[in-house]
């Protein structure tokens, strides 16, 4: 077989160990489904109690099967699982699904059972799904290995599946499947990952990325275990223009606690998840019905779109509401170009609206030629990326021909919102126009969809940057670094330091100050002191030599008292920074899932209160850093807000991109690197690191 | 009749001028509906072209009617409207509905027509709805005066209506009616207000507040024209525990532009709308389906609830998702008390969750006694206000008896979310348990509903405060006030000023500084200069007498140059403020809708960027101001954030409440009053106004 997970997800033959002849029982439900949906492969129920179940011969044990099937489904208790896996392996079976709960999610005894299972998998190479999972369904080959009641309750699908669902919860898998089918979207794979002892979420995702029957993936995640594979796979899906829509639980503290209590998974840093998802062009879902709507939209993914919308409606009120909603959801409603407004004015009554939203009024539909002209103009103007047509059913019906016709000739995405019961919905969908029945739901799906379309080039660009930046690590991190050495290290990667001099004693400090210019800042120099202010190791605004000598003496004394263990290497003398436009903080952390990541924000206490920070996975280049700064609510401070001088943003970006390069060169040895603050001076005058700190991995762990 | 609007909204007899015999035409549709739904009163079609329409005798003109009906519905062109109203009035008809468009919404000619209509209404006292409106429906007496196609497309209602809909858009009225009926909620009044030339939104609302058939109002507003009546009516509805749910268009700039273009209505200050709605306990809706859900919930308004929720689910994942969603929507999920957790632990398997969300696991439903015990405990614990039960249909069915039983004995609100297709939905609803079919929609409706329940006492308290504060105005505003006089005026209402002295010249300034203590701030004193800094009229941190003398001379010179017209009254000398915990801004404005309102925020450029401000309608008292400060994201700065001293919040609140009293005493004479900054000192040391400004109404208008 082509893929390692094929025996799990596209089995040609299936044994069910612990088979039951009752469709309502776990050991019976998959057999009932395989029979009901007429799975074409071989099915081997295994249970010494029966001769036959659901019309198949039932075997006493795994050893008596006539062949080694692709897959064994184990509907047996947790204690029996690993012994049975050993027998399956001995029988030549390469893959198994474990339904049983009572493993890592259930205390110490369960964790021991799971460790044993994992050890067996590692040693045998067997591909094992679960434990504590509901199993799968491959609807295209009608291979049902899930004990889920949902399959028989929804309309059977006629077309081949094109959307796959992969979740860390069985209940969520069923709910998403039901909603997706309600939307009429055909499904390929139904995958519930369970405890992911052996095969994790990202591995299933990697399978789906190469699956020709999967054009779109809906997922539910509590924790990502394999960050690098997730990143690779998400980029692969993005490159293939297959939308990946993920619901991430644990957004709030209580939600995260629930997640942890649920599967002992750590919810992770949500801000970083959000940033990472956005960078990888993963659509972060807010709602299950929204996910089903996005699955529906994914059927129209060949149509071109973006975040600038034109709204066409028959009602001024609904136009205003749509404008509010689309903009609230992050889209833009540009004022239409004057020529286009003029064209609209010619056919729209006085009480209509021609700017955007456009209110063509109900009267307009008596003029089909004009409607066609309007659509044609909106399909070709450079001013918008997507067109939203909102009309009550019968009016939409009147416009359907014109709409279908224009969409056949132009690739731009047109979306219809039918607030009635249009007859033309099917026809429009066939012509490439998705139709929504609810205004709120339409916006909730359309906005992230358009963001997905718009973000694609940026994600491709980042993928290339990541490719080009090569492997992480390579540069050795010295065992200890004082502030000056830290800045020198970072400077080699492009982080501009403040001009500063090291002085052994007060005489040296005075000489340094004279060279640098008064007033100066005096700092204690010691690799052992991370937080200098707390031990009296920083004095600002020293005006002259006597004051500096006094400060040196006082500082020595105070530091000796407060940090008696610290080896003192002397003093650091810096010119007192003045005239800065803003102070930034730039920090690197190593996320357990996403790896090295950069956080940028404005320095100071208010920024912390307002949580105004921007995050990115590494690598970043100058352009990406500039984008991050632009995302800050405080950005106007760097951009001439209320007559302030423009900041040297270019220099700030160069230094922060240098920080990113340093972080990649050092790799995980440096658990944390921080420039705090980076003083941004007026345009043309640069940006300099006033202070910097590298926390080695060992120190971070022991802290 | 009891109410002035009765002839419009509860007519006993109806004439339709411009009657048509075709149900699809504006002049025919209401007649068709009146016939179809069997209106019991008299119906008089008027049109010289017909002898009979829809089985009623048709009259040639209004003069030949056998009686003066309660209401005339005019399905005639805009130009003909006022002449016909005059004839109706002459015939003794007291009320009319005007369908025609082409009035204020349609340019200068339309505006003239509307002015004529308004003049006639003022002179005749006739009650006129519209123009440019769709009309009404009183479903309880089956009086249909609206040309709306929606009525025959929804299931006829059996129960008496209890929810009324009032909107400034006909399309929205129809959409809301359809969704509300889809939810099975019976409707009383369908009201589309149109241009509101004579009867405005708030007057309809006042009618509904006294209508015994209205327990809940859904509304759509673009502009409120009568703020005081709106406030009175909203408070009346709140006092009667009748929820008022309003969708306000114009949230974004483009949305506001669309609103303005639509009905030439100004969208108003959205931040103030939001604050006012919250203060009046008006539920501000986000979505039409949410409004229908709230209408459904209003059927359960006798049940007690609040913002602290317990979540009971059969799925850890759905528990985590619900926790995220409820908290994201502003609710709270307290950790359950230990005793309650212990009770849960006794009956829930190890892999379940007992903290909150509670995952009872699917196994639990085999134990109905335990389920009952859990519900009973949750119905009586002090730790939560509302209980959310989430279960797939068949599991919900198993718990339905226990749930109904507990709800029969306890007033606490239990809400069920059925992610399947439970048989027990009706039964649960009858037992007082609202059932939702979708998790996202459930949270979107439940959170504002619980906020409505929780906010009721605060709104009642404010209504009493407003009652007690009496009439606005009474104190004369001097023609001109300099900074010192402004502070003296405000001080008489309780705003603490910074100690300061007025000096005629440099000698006086030095004497003042010696009395106040060095260093000092020097300001130019002139009632003609509002922005002192801009003309060089402020010098900070003056350390000694020579510097002060120099500053006085330089300031005189500079001000004379930059503001040569200003009459200079001398200097103001203040001690240089130090050791403040934070600087606040407190400002009063007069909103055209809501009247005098207070805005409080942190001073400084970042607060402006982060839009961190809190708003309230006046009056406010110390407690309300404290709540406003607590709403600021920057609140921790006053509350000991990261080891900072606690601010004197009590003193700050007293000064700001004093500002509110001053504003009410001055009334609309003072267009704007601002304290900027109010320096909040450490606890026990007070809060003082460093600067203050009153902008008289005349100046604001001429500016």
Q: What is the pLDDT of residue B319?
A: 93
- Report the sign of the C-alpha dihedral through residues A153, A154, A155, A160, in that order: negative
Which chain A residues touch B263 with a CB distance below 8 Å?
316
- Whether pLDDT at B700 is above 70: no
Q: Do A392 and B171 touch (CB under 8 A)?
A: yes
Which chain A residues touch B286 with a CB distance below 8 Å?
440
- Whether pLDDT at B264 is above 70: no
Smallest Cα distance from A609 to chain B, Å? 6
pLDDT tens-place string over residues B662-685: 999 999 899 999 999 999 999 999
Query: For testing the chain B interface, which of A274, A292, A321 should be mutated: the one with the most B CBs within 10 Å?
Result: A321
The SS3 call for residue B339 is helix
Q: Do A353 and B605 touch (CB under 8 A)?
A: no
Q: Do A171 and B634 touch (CB under 8 A)?
A: no
* Average pLDDT score over residue span B6-30: 96
* Mean pLDDT estimate for chain B: 93
CATH 3.40.50.261 holds for A154-299: yes
DSSP sequence for B173-223: HHHHHHHHHHTT--EEEEEE-TT-SSS-HHHHHHHHHT-TT-SEEEEEES-
Q: Do B171 and A315 touch (CB under 8 A)?
A: yes
Which chain A residues touch B314 with a CB distance below 8 Å?
171
pLDDT tens-place string over residues B204-219: 999 999 999 999 999 9
CA B273 – CA B364 distance, rounded (Å): 47
* Average pLDDT score over residue span B557-578: 92
Tell me which chain B residue has its CA closest to the CA of residue A223: B317
Q: What is the pLDDT of residue B702?
A: 47
Q: Is A3 in contact with A138 (CB distance < 8 Å)?
A: no
Residues A62, A65, A68, A72, Cα dihedral to 10° = -40
Longest CA–CA span in chain A (Å) reads: 101
Closest to A676 measured CA to CA, from A689, A688, A685: A689
Please write down the HEC assignment for all residues of B591-639: ECCCEEEEEEEECCHHHHHHCCEEEEECCCCHHHHHHHHHHCCCHHHHE
Q: Do B356 and A290 touch (CB under 8 A)?
A: no
Closest to A222 measured CA to CA, from A189, A190, A266, A261: A266
Tell the CATH superfamily of the B582-702 domain: ATP-grasp fold, B domain (3.30.470.20)
Confidence of residue B268 (pLDDT cuts 50, 70, 90): low
The residue ranges of DSSP E strands in A60-162, in sequence order, are: 71-74, 95-98, 127-129, 135-138, 143-144
- Whether pLDDT at B454 is above 70: yes
* Average pLDDT score over residue span B62-70: 97
Locate the domains of chain B by residue range: 1-149, 160-299, 309-457, 499-575, 582-702
Tell me which chain A residue has its CA closest to the CA of residue B316: A262
Q: Do B254 and A333 touch (CB under 8 A)?
A: yes
Smallest Cα distance from B640 to chain A, Å? 12
Taking only Cα atoms into account, the Rg of chain A, rounded to an integer number of angstroms, comes to 31
* Average pLDDT score over residue span B230-255: 93
Q: Is B148 in contact with B190 (CB distance < 8 Å)?
A: yes
Percent of chain B with pLDDT over 70: 98
Question: Residue A259: which of B320, B392, B642 has the nearest Cβ?
Answer: B320
Domain A1-148 class, CATH top level: alpha beta
- Whether pLDDT at B1 is above 60: no
The one-character DSSP state at B332 is B
CA B55 – CA A353 distance, rounded (Å): 41
The CB-side HSE value for A372 (13 A sphere, CA atoms) comes to 10
CA B278 – CA B121 distance, rounded (Å): 35
Q: Is A105 in contact with A132 (CB distance < 8 Å)?
A: yes
Tell me which chain B residue has its CA closest to the CA of residue A310: B254
Confidence of residue B553 (pLDDT cuts 50, 70, 90): very high
Tell me which chain A residue has its CA closest to the CA of residue B167: A317
Taking only Cα atoms into account, the Rg of chain B, rounded to an integer number of angstroms, comes to 31
Q: In sequence order, which residues have a C-beta less than 8 Å from that of residue A234 and are 6 or more positions away?
A: A205, A244, A280, A281, A282
* Average pLDDT score over residue span B3-26: 96
Question: Residue B91: exposed, middle, or buried by beta-carbon count in 10 A (0-12, 13-18, 19+)?
Answer: middle
Token pair for residue A207?
A: 């399978």
Architecture of the domain whose range is A499-575: 2-Layer Sandwich (3.30)
Cis peptide bond upstream of A519, omega within 30 = yes
Q: What is the pLDDT of residue B267?
A: 53
- Tell how strand B435-436 and strand A538-542 pair up: unpaired
Under CATH, which number does the domain B309-457 receive? 3.40.50.261
The SS3 call for residue A653 is helix
CATH 3.40.50.261 holds for B160-299: yes
- Whether pLDDT at B655 is above 70: yes
The one-character DSSP state at B498 is P
Which chain B residues touch A605 with a CB distance below 8 Å?
637, 641-642
For B1, B477, B596, B664, B667, the CA distances from B473, given in Å and listed in that order, are 36, 10, 11, 6, 4
Cis peptide bond upstream of A167, omega within 30 = no
Token pair for residue B275?
A: 């604050």
Token pair for residue A571?
A: 């003093």
Smallest Cα distance from B409 to chain A, Å? 30
Give the mean pLDDT per block of 10 residues along chain A (703 residues): 90 97 94 96 97 96 97 96 97 96 87 96 96 96 93 90 96 93 95 96 97 97 93 97 95 78 63 94 96 97 96 92 95 95 87 87 80 94 97 89 96 93 92 95 97 97 92 83 95 95 95 95 93 90 94 94 93 90 93 92 83 94 97 94 92 97 93 94 95 84 47
Smallest Cα distance from A338 to chain B, Å? 16
Closest to A671 measured CA to CA, from A567, A585, A597: A597
Query: For testing the chain B interface, which of A29, A133, A171 should be mutated: the one with the most B CBs within 10 Å?
Result: A171
- Terminal-residue alpha carbon distance, chain B: 49
CA angle B348, B351, B352 (to 5 degrees): 45
Architecture of the domain whose range is A309-455: 3-Layer(aba) Sandwich (3.40)
CA A653 – CA A626 distance, rounded (Å): 6
Closest to B571 measured CA to CA, from B603, B538, B533, B542: B538
* Average pLDDT score over residue span B486-494: 96
Domains B499-575 and B582-702 share a fold: no
Token pair for residue B40?
A: 């019991």
Q: Do A258 and B637 touch (CB under 8 A)?
A: no
Token pair for residue B527?
A: 């009632």
Count of all residues that appear for chain A in the document = 703
Domain B1-149 class, CATH top level: alpha beta
The one-character DSSP state at A137 is E
The one-character DSSP state at B132 is S
Q: Do B350 and A222 touch (CB under 8 A)?
A: no
**Phi, psi of A11, rounded to the nearest 5 degrees:** -70, 140
The reply to whether ipTM tops 0.85 is: yes
Token pair for residue B390?
A: 């989430």
The one-character DSSP state at B365 is G
Which chain B residues touch A328 with a CB distance below 8 Å?
251-252
Closest to A289 measured CA to CA, from A167, A421, A451, A178: A178
For A52, A566, A694, B219, B445, the CA distances from B292, given in Å and listed in that order, are 53, 67, 56, 11, 9
Q: How many CB atoms lie within 10 A of CB B530?
A: 15
CA A391 – CA A318 distance, rounded (Å): 9
Q: Is A371 in contact with A348 (CB distance < 8 Å)?
A: no
Smallest Cα distance from B454 to chain A, Å? 21
Q: Is B338 in contact with B288 (CB distance < 8 Å)?
A: no
Token pair for residue B476?
A: 């004369």
Confidence of residue B263 (pLDDT cuts 50, 70, 90): low
Q: What is the pLDDT of residue B251?
A: 81
């Amino acid at each position: 077989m082509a893929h390692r997970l094929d025996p799990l997800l596209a089995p040609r033959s299936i044994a069910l160990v612990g088979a039951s002849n009752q469709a309502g029982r776990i050991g019976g439900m998959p057999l009932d489904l395989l029979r009901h949906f007429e799975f074409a492969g071989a099915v081997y129920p295994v249970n010494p109690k029966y001769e036959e179940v659901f019309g198949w011969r039932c075997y006493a044990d795994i050893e008596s099967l006539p062949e080694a099937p692709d897959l064994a489904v184990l509907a047996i208790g947790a204690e029996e699982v690993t012994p049975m896996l050993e027998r399956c392996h001995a029988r030549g079976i390469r893959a198994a699904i474990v339904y049983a709960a009572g493993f890592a999610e259930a205390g110490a005894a369960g964790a021991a059972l799971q460790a044993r299972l994992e050890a067996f998998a590692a040693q045998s190479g067997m591909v094992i799904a679960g434990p504590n999972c509901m199993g799968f369904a491959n609807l295209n080959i009608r291979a049902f290995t899930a004990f889920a009641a949902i399959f028989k309750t929804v309309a059977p699908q006629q077309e081949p599946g094109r959307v796959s669902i992969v979740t860390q919860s069985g209940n969520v898998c069923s709910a998403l499947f039901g909603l997706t089918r309600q939307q009429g979207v055909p499904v390929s794979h139904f995958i519930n990952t369970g405890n992911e002892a052996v095969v994790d979420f990202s591995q299933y995702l990697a399978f789906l990325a190469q699956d020709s029957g999967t054009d779109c993936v809906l997922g539910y995640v509590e924790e990502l275990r394999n960050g690098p594979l997730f990143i690779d796979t998400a980029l692969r899906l993005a490159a293939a223009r297959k939308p990946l829509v993920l619901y991430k639980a644990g957004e709030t503290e209580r939600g995260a606690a629930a997640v942890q209590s649920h599967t002992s998974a750590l919810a992770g840093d949500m801000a970083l998840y959000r940033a990472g998802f956005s960078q990888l062009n993963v659509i972060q879902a807010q709602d299950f019905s929204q996910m089903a709507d996005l699955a529906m939209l994914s059927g129209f993914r060949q149509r071109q779109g973006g975040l600038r919308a034109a709204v066409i409606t028959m009602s001024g009120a609904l136009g205003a509401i749509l404008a509010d909603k689309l903009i609230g959801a992050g889209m833009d409603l540009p004022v239409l170009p004057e020529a286009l407004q003029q064209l609209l004015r010619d056919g729209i009554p006085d009480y209509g609206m021609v700017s955007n939203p456009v209110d063509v009024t109900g009267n307009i539909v008596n003029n089909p030629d004009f409607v066609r002209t309007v659509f044609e103009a909106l399909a070709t103007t450079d001013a918008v990326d997507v067109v939203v047509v909102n009309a009550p059913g019968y009016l939409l019906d009147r416009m359907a021909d014109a709409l279908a016709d224009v969409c056949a000739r132009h690739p731009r995405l047109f979306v219809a919102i039918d607030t009635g019961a249009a007859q033309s919905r099917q026809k429009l969908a066939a012509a490439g126009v998705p139709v929504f029945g609810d205004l709120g739901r339409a916006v909730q799906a359309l906005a992230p969809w358009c963001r997905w379309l718009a973000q694609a080039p940026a994600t491709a660009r980042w993928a290339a940057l990541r490719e080009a930046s090569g492997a992480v690590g390579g540069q050795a991190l010295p065992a200890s670094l004082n502030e000056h050495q830290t800045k020198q290290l970072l400077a080699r990667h492009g982080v501009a330091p403040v001009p500063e001099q090291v002085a052994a004693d007060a005489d040296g400090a005075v000489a340094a100050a004279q060279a640098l210019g008064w007033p100066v800042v005096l700092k204690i120099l010691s690799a052992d002191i991370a937080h200098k202010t707390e031990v009296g190791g920083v004095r600002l605004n020293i005006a002259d030599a006597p004051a500096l000598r006094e400060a040196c003496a006082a500082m020595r004394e105070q530091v000796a008292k407060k940090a008696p263990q610290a080896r003192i290497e002397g003093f650091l003398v810096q010119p007192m920074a003045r005239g800065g436009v803003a102070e930034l903080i730039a920090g690197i952390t190593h996320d357990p899932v996403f790896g090295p990541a950069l956080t940028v924000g404005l320095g100071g206490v208010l920024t912390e209160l307002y949580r105004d920070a921007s995050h990115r996975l590494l690598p970043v280049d100058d352009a990406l850093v500039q984008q991050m700064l632009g995302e800050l609510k405080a950005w106007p401070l760097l951009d001439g807000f209320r007559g302030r001088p423009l900041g040297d943003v270019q220099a700030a970006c160069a230094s922060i991109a240098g920080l990113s390069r340093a972080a990649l060169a050092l790799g995980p040895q440096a658990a944390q690197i921080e420039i705090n603050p980076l003083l941004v001076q007026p345009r043309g005058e640069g940006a300099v690191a006033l202070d910097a700190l590298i926390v080695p991995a060992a120190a971070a762990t022991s802290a």
